[in-house]
Homo-oligomer: A and B are copies of this chain.
Amino acid sequence: MTDQVILVVYDIKDNRLRFKVSNFLKKTGYVRVQKSVFVSPYNPAVLSDTEAGLRRITRENEGYDIQIYVFSQASYENRIVLSKGYYIEEEEEFLV
């Protein structure tokens, strides 16, 4: 199986939903690359768990867009990063 990664990028209006999504992705083993961007090594089980989990979490909500990309490890490693004085603002905790 080629080495691939899963990249999840999201824009979510509601704070509580945003916290649930980031919390779910962390618990699923994703690494946070930016505030709304998470990455994980790819395998079919992780991808299907990710999609199923995110569909369950977002079911009764609106005002969100979540995109799940699968592409080669090489594409990930060759990404160009412009970054200075950046820190990831973790969401306010919500009891979920």
Contact = CB atoms under 8 A, between A and B. Distances in A.
Interface of A: 7, 9-11, 33-37, 51, 54-55, 58, 61-72, 75-76, 78-86, 88
Nearest to A60: B84
A60 B95 CA distance: 40
Nearest to A68: B80
B82 A55 contact: yes
20 contacts: A7-B69, A9-B34, A11-B35, A11-B88, A33-B67, A58-B82, A58-B84, A61-B84, A63-B85, A63-B86, A64-B85, A64-B86, A66-B81, A66-B83, A67-B80, A68-B79, A69-B71, A69-B75, A70-B75, A72-B72
How many copies of the polypeptide does the oligomer hold?
2
Contact of A79 (B34, B36, B69, B75): B69
A79 B69 CA distance: 5
B83 A64 contact: yes
